[in-house]
């Protein structure tokens, strides 16, 4: 990885905290009197405040989507897609990426102080729904002077949020881009999330979520949770290709008593340890629950067409052939409901062996499809001027 940003990179970036002083009533009924969002922005907002793109991050994502923080050798998590001339073109759009409430990267969440007790919320942080994130982002629009989103874009859980945006505030977005997502999780998905939660809760250092107050951290449980998740984000083919049965340590020589370690073991352990060092266990529990509860059409009599009848924007839906966590069939269900509701929609199933993670990685066809779609969105904005 190079230390000097590429020409099409947004370059050195800094995040900032936006304090939202209006009360936010959560879906569970609790009210956050005020809350904070840590955000990053790239590009320039136009005079009409209508060329903004909202980036909705996924389960473990955050505000640092593109560019480099000073001293970092690795760019933000979606740097392949955000920059001048990239699919999310910062020379045409003002790109906004907040860390959502409930997560652990600066925005109000379990690590923040609960004003009622003067102590960190920890496990007491109220349960969240995707609509809470949407409502928080709606308040963020006013703070930033944004009148309308040219597009709301998200992958995985971010795609769920983007769809929720299209139903909750139909008049406030032109386009909705839903990548590697679903209208609701399958039983298998919920099962994987529950295994991850149980891994965390089984760690003796979890202390019923009160670990921080006791100076402990359930890092073993969190690492295990991440390892389980990570397996489901990759495809069998890619794992075979990347790691195969290659050995990291030892060999199979007859009679050898040396321990043997496969490359995949080493890789997964590294991923788990890296994650457990930066993510908060209570946030992980909170957000996986939010994923499980998400059901786009529940309040529309379980009729997805009725749900999308409320939308006004145009849609792009993208899936990846080897994604078995959010399989192409789940995206096709979205598309079918959109067509039945008479909404404009384009759908691509991108050939990839990278599993669910494909939505974060470079892929020429994916880049071209997203880029061409958003170029139309930019033309719509520029025609209004």
C-beta of 309 vs 346, nearer to another protein: 346
Q: Which of 228, 349, 353, 378 binds another protein (CB under 8 A)?
A: 349
Tokens of 67: 């560019």
Q: Which of 340, 341, 353, 378 binds another protein (CB under 8 A)?
A: 340
Q: Which of 344, 361, 362, 384 binds another protein (CB under 8 A)?
A: 344
Tell me how crowded residue 379 is: count the other CB atoms within 10 A of its CB: 11
Q: Which stretch binds another protein (CB under 8 A): 133-141, 193-201, 210-218, 341-349?
A: 341-349
Binding flag, residue 372, another protein (CB under 8 A): yes
Binding flag, residue 34, another protein (CB under 8 A): no
Binding flag, residue 365, another protein (CB under 8 A): yes
Residue 356 is among the residues annotated as catalytic for this protein: yes
Q: Which of 13, 347, 354, 357 binds another protein (CB under 8 A)?
A: 347
Which of the residues 323, 331, 352, 357 is marked catalytic? 323
Nearest approach in angstroms of CB 339 to another protein is 6
Residue 156 is among the residues annotated as catalytic for this protein: yes
C-beta of 224 vs 345, nearer to another protein: 345
Nearest approach in angstroms of CB 306 to another protein is 14
Phi, psi at 336, each rounded to 5°: -60, -40
Which of the residues 132, 174, 356, 357 is marked catalytic? 356
Tell me how crowded residue 32 is: count the other CB atoms within 10 A of its CB: 21
Binding flag, residue 348, another protein (CB under 8 A): yes
Nearest approach in angstroms of CB 368 to another protein is 6
Nearest approach in angstroms of CB 167 to another protein is 20
Nearest approach in angstroms of CB 179 to another protein is 14
C-beta of 20 vs 318, nearer to another protein: 318
Binding flag, residue 382, another protein (CB under 8 A): no
Q: Which of 15, 114, 266, 346 binds another protein (CB under 8 A)?
A: 346
Number of residues lying near another protein (CB under 8 A): 20
Catalytic residues: 156, 323, 356
Q: Which residues of this chain interact with another protein, rule CB under 8 A?
A: 316, 332, 335-336, 339-340, 342, 344-349, 365, 368-369, 372-373, 375-376
């Amino acid at each position: 990885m190079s230390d000097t940003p590429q020409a099409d990179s947004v370059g050195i970036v800094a995040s900032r905290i936006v304090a939202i002083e209006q009360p936010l009533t959560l879906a569970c009924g609790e009210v956050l009197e005020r809350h904070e969002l840590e955000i990053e922005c790239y590009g320039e907002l136009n005079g009409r405040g209508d060329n903004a793109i909202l980036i909705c991050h996924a389960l473990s994502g955050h505000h640092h989507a593109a560019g480099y923080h000073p001293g970092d050798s690795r760019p933000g998590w979606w740097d392949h897609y955000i920059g001048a001339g990239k699919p999310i073109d910062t020379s045409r759009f003002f790109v906004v990426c907040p860390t959502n409430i409930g997560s652990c990267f600066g925005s109000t969440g379990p690590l923040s102080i609960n004003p009622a007790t003067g102590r960190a919320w920890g496990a007491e942080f109220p349960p969240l729904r995707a609509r809470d994130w949407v409502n928080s982002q709606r308040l963020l629009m006013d703070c930033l002077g944004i009148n309308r989103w040219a597009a709301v874009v998200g992958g995985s859980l971010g795609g769920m949020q983007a769809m929720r945006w299209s139903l909750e505030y139909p008049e406030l977005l032109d386009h909705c881009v839903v990548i590697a997502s679903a209208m609701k999780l399958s039983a298998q998905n919920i099962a994987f999330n529950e295994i991850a939660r149980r891994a965390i809760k089984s760690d003796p250092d979890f202390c019923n979520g009160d670990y921080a107050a006791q100076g402990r951290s359930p890092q073993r449980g969190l690492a295990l949770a991440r390892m389980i998740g990570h397996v489901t984000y990759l495809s069998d083919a890619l794992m075979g290709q990347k790691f195969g049965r290659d050995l990291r340590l030892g060999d199979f020589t007859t009679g050898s008593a040396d321990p043997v370690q496969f490359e995949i073991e080493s890789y997964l352990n590294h991923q788990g340890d890296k994650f457990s060092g930066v993510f908060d266990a209570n946030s992980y529990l909170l957000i996986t629950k939010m994923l499980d509860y998400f059901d786009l059409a529940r309040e529309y009599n379980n009729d997805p067409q009725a749900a999308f009848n409320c939308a006004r924007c145009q849609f792009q839906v993208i899936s990846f052939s080897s994604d078995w966590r959010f399989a192409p069939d789940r995206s096709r269900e979205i598309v079918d409901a959109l067509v039945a509701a008479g909404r404009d929609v384009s759908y691509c199933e991108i050939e990839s062996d990278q599993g669910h993670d494909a939505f974060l990685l470079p892929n020429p066809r994916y880049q071209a499809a997203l880029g061409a779609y958003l170029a139309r969105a930019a033309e719509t904005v520029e025609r209004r001027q």
